[in-house]
Amino acid sequence: MKKFIVLMLMVSLTRAVGQDHIDNQLVHYTIKYNHLFDRGKDIKEYDAKLYIQGDRSLFTMKQGDKIEMSYQSNYYDASPDSLFTVYKDFESNSLLFDFYHLQQGNIFYADTLHPMEWKLESEEKNVSGIPCKRATVRFKGRDYVAWYAPSIPISNGPWKLGGLPGLILEAYDQQGEWHVLFNKIEELNFIDLGYFEKLVNKGVGSFSVFVSDLKDLLKRMTGSLSGQGSSDCFTCETKSLVKLYMWEKID
């Protein structure tokens, strides 16, 4: 009976994601993300979604605050990251991601679509009853494991990950800071991705521009906070310490 149920689930999913049958799908994931990565533990859970419309997709895990800020004496810790929204356009080979700027709000930047060089491995396991294969990669300074389903012929996945011969149903970094797990996939009648298509056509800053903007932001915050010392304090520490933690490692 169990084998029959699993078989029926696989058939249903294959029909749901077949490009000849349906153009619009919504993939649901549960994500556990440690907001204090590289510093401590503060794991929060997200209901993430991957909207797929033919050759285009939109991934989002926006929920709650996108910036974690803590104040301790003259110490300022700003931790923006680029995990929350990713738009992919396979036809134009484009990828956009958003970044929450402390002063300008959400800004979109461009990155390379699926540049990761996956190592396909022989290990297999079931994810939500679906047979998957294991692949590993080092990407932007972190080591990732992905479990993809060859029976679901969609070369996509959560966040910026993708480029495998099947939809990624589970992914995580090997430090245990970010873990994505597939829940279900459903059909949608309509997905409006026109806003992101306009951004692609208009053009946005590259990843190198993103890095430059971050460094500029860090420099300005450091200068601003360093001048906040008390004029009548002769013994206190007046130098502010600013640290910018990013999920994607940058030089």
Average pLDDT value for residue range 101-118? 87
pTM of the model as a whole = 0.80
Q: Report the SS3 class of residue 127.
A: strand
Q: What is the dihedral of CA 144, 211, 98, 243, to 10 degrees?
A: 80
Residue 114 token pair? 């699926």
pLDDT one-digit tens code per residue, 21-69: 447 999 999 999 998 888 889 899 999 999 999 999 999 987 644 333 3
Average pLDDT value for residue range 231-250? 63
Domain boundaries, the chain: 2-227+238-244
* pLDDT on residue 32: 95
Strand ranges across the sheet with 75-79 = 68-72, 75-79, 241-244
Residues paired with residue 30 on neighbouring β-strands, in sequence order: 47, 181
- Which pLDDT band, with edges at 50, 70 and 90, does 244 fall under? confident
- Which pLDDT band, with edges at 50, 70 and 90, does 102 fall under? low
> Do the bridges between strand 167-173 and strand 178-187 make them parallel or antiparallel, or are there none, so unpaired?
antiparallel
* DSSP 8-state symbol, 12: H
- From the candidate CATH numbers 3.40.50, 2.60.40, 1.10.287, 2.50.20, the one assigned to the domain spanning 2-227+238-244: 2.50.20
